[in-house]
């Protein structure tokens, strides 16, 4: 049987990494991982479509807050809660003020500490509140906003996996994907998400792209700090990046001046 093309293998790996899609894992190597991480924003955008649909549908029959809460829960379900788990583990490790192997050991613990709990509550609260506000906008704008936030969150992973960023461990997801994304793929993903964001805020075509750029800048700072503390990236850190960027984009899309 001929080898599966890298693009197809990368798309398969991206779907199995970022969603609960019933797709069988194919070839797994660093070249395929690089393709998968470059395709992460595409998977995010596809994930945003059903989330936006559920938000708008439930808002028709219920309150905006209920629609937003169910949408946040569905987002966690469709990703197996892995990104939220990564956020909690990463914040617990950062909050411990430990470095290197000691910090990584905290990330591997099955329990969630107080820092992780607070981070989860804040992220879920902000996302639900933002979605409740977005539900009141026109359907095209709400759709564009949710898709933009979901795509931008996964673009944060593309950013984290760019060349020059090392893994924290010699094994695991971080070791597989660290340093696999080139500048062209990162630039293409960024431009695509910025274009999506133009329609996210009615009457303010600049606000969506600005929200994405600010969120990515914050993510870059977080990644830099985490790499200094942990020695590189881990799967948990990638999950945390998804949630941080997604939340910041939602926040940026609902701010008014």
> Per residue in 33-78, pLDDT tens?
999 999 999 999 999 999 999 999 999 988 999 999 999 999 999 9
Contacts of 255 (CB under 8 A, 6+ apart): 207
> Per residue in 217-232, pLDDT tens?
999 999 999 999 999 9
> Per residue in 73-83, pLDDT tens?
999 999 989 99
Check whether 3 has a pLDDT greater than 60.
Answer: no
Better-scored residue on pLDDT, 11 or 187 = 187
Q: What are phi and psi of 162, to 5 degrees?
A: -65, 160
Please, what sign has the CA dihedral across residues 244, 242, 37, 42? negative
CB 170 within 8 A of CB 104: no
Binning pLDDT at 50, 70 and 90, where does residue 4 land?
low
Helices (H), 161-234: 173-177, 183-197, 207-230
Report the SS3 class of residue 167.
strand
Structure-block tokens of residue 254? 């609902």
> Per residue in 91-115, pLDDT tens?
999 888 888 888 888 888 888 888 8
Burial class (CB in 10 A: 0-12, 13-18, 19+), 84: buried
Please state, in angstroms and rounded to a whole number, the distance separating the CA atoms of residues 245 and 154. Answer: 8
Check whether 1 has a pLDDT greater than 80.
Answer: no
Half-sphere exposure of 189 (CA within 13 A, CB side): 32
Q: What are phi and psi of 199, to 5 degrees?
A: -90, 5
Percent of the chain with pLDDT over 70: 97
């Amino acid at each position: 049987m001929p080898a599966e093309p890298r693009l197809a293998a990368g798309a398969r790996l991206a779907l199995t990494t970022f969603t609960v899609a019933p797709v069988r894992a194919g070839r797994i190597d660093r070249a395929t991982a690089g393709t998968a991480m470059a395709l992460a924003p595409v998977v995010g955008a596809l994930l945003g479509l059903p989330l936006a649909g559920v938000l708008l549908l439930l808002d028709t029959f219920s309150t905006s807050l209920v629609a937003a809460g169910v949408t946040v829960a569905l987002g966690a379900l469709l990703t197996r809660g892995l990104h939220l788990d990564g956020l909690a583990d990463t914040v617990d490790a950062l909050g411990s003020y430990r470095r290197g192997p000691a910090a990584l050991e905290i990330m591997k613990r099955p329990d969630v500490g107080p820092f992780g709990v607070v981070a989860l509550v804040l992220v879920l609260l902000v996302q639900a509140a933002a979605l409740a506000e977005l539900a009141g906008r026109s359907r095209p704008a709400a759709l564009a906003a949710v898709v933009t936030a979901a795509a931008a969150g996964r673009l944060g992973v593309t950013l984290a996996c760019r060349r020059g960023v090392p893994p924290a461990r010699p094994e695991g997801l971080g070791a597989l994907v660290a340093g696999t994304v080139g500048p062209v793929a990162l630039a293409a993903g960024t431009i695509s998400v910025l274009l999506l964001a133009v329609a996210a805020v009615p009457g303010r075509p600049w606000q969506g792209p600005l929200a994405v750029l600010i969120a990515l800048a914050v993510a870059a700072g977080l990644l830099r700090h985490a790499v200094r503390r942990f020695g590189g990236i881990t799967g948990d850190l990638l999950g945390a990046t998804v949630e941080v960027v997604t939340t910041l984009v939602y926040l940026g899309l609902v701010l008014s001046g």
